[in-house]
Amino acid sequence: MSGAPAADRSPVFLEERRPSPLMVKRLCLGAVVVVALTLLLVPLPWLGRGAIGGSLLLFVWLLWASRFTIRLEQEFLFLRMAPFPTRRIPLEEIAGASTHMSYPWGIGKRGWSIARSPGVAVYFTHAGAGVVLELADGQAIWLNADQPELLVSLLPKRRKRK
């Protein structure tokens, strides 16, 4: 990970995944149908109708804004499943990285999620290949990537802590 000037802010590795357009269309259509039926069948005051309409707009915006970004820079690995906050991992905290073919619980699963359990955070976008990051504090991060071998090769080997 050397050779680039310190002032260069361009990422070493950048990958962005978006939800399937078909999934987004189906979810938006389903939300519109549910909202339309609610507004037609349930007598609500105008304020209630406005709240339901605003909720629909917020839901559609969240679907539109959804993306999973992996950005590797000279000193940090950034993981962001928008619209949620970015997780910034210093490269010196990564004790090891390896590729995996699929998550055991991800086979046949669709959708997007950030799952957390004691010691592991999983950024799930599809049932395909990905990367397992072992952190110096004993935690692990599993994430999907389109080019997991490239990402692992670009991550530095274990560095000695300062």
Beta-carbon contacts of residue 74 (< 8 Å; ≥ 6 apart): 1, 4, 6, 8, 12
Encode burial over 61-97: b for 16+ CB neighbours within 10 A, e otherwise: eebeebebbbbbbeebbebbbeeeeeeebeeebbbeb
Look at residue 8 in the predicted model and tell me its pLDDT: 60
| Backbone dihedral angles phi then psi of residue 147, each to the nearest 5 degrees | -125, 70
Look at residue 3 in the predicted model and tell me its pLDDT: 44
DSSP 6: T
Q: List pLDDT tens digits, range 7-24.
A: 567 888 999 988 878 878
Q: List pLDDT tens digits, range 99-121.
A: 887 665 555 556 677 878 888 88
Q: List pLDDT tens digits, range 40-96.
A: 888 889 888 889 889 988 988 888 888 899 999 989 999 998 878 899 999 999 999
